[in-house]
Copies of this chain bind each other. A is one copy, B any other.
Amino acid sequence: MSVKPDIRIQAKDFDINAEIGKLTKGRTDIGAVVTFTGLCRGEGDTLSALELEHYPGMAEAEITRIAKQAVTRFGLLGISAIHRYGKIKPGENIVLVIATSPHRQASFDGANFLMDFLKTRAPFWKKNHRADGEDGGWVDANDADDDALSKWGK
């Protein structure tokens, strides 16, 4: 049975229980589910919101490509990702990744791999809205995110 990644880009929030249920309901072959949720941090109350811009079409396509690699590489039974766009306040969800597999390490690796590549390869850009009303500017790419890719080899 081929595994089809379920990838969505949306403005609205997501329900983690419901998303896990979509991958696990009625199945008895899944032994491990790992979820990753990325949230907007307040940066010590200096941030009022992040604004997320994306490239419609390419965002879905690129995350799907990476998700398919994760399925093959780690032998996942299912993978889904939801990435929000628009204005997101501190404490709110930005991104959800779920990986399922028979045994635990594959699910951990699958979700971790997808997040590392999503951070640097998915066409999203974050703008800071500062609490004091000043222009917070666009978030710079993070060298640590590029470095994180190195653990997955070539």
Distance in angstroms from A141 CB to nearest chain B CB is 15
Q: In the bound complex, how far is the Cα of B33 from the Cα of A111, in angstroms?
A: 12
How many residues of chain A are within 8 Å of chain B by beta carbon? 36
Q: In the bound complex, how far is the Cα of B115 from the Cα of A136, in angstroms?
A: 39
- Each complex incorporates copies of this chain amounting to 2
* Given A28-B45, A33-B39: A148 and B111 interface contact (C-beta under 8 Å): no
- Chain A residues within CB distance 8 Å of chain B: 15-17, 20, 24, 26-42, 45, 90-91, 102-105, 107-108, 111-112, 115, 144, 148
10 A-B pairs in the complex with CB atoms less than 8 angstroms apart = A15-B17, A16-B16, A16-B20, A24-B39, A28-B42, A30-B91, A32-B39, A34-B35, A103-B144, A108-B112
Distance in angstroms from A103 CB to nearest chain B CB is 8
Q: In the bound complex, how far is the Cα of B42 from the Cα of A28, in angstroms?
A: 5
A90 CB contacts on chain B under 8 angstroms: 28
Q: In the bound complex, do residue A39 and residue B34 qualify as a contact, i.e. CB atoms below 8 Å apart?
A: no
A103 CB contacts on chain B under 8 angstroms: 144
List the B residue with the shortest CB-CB distance to A44. B29
Select one of B30, B105, B111, B112 contacting A39, CB under 8 A.
B30
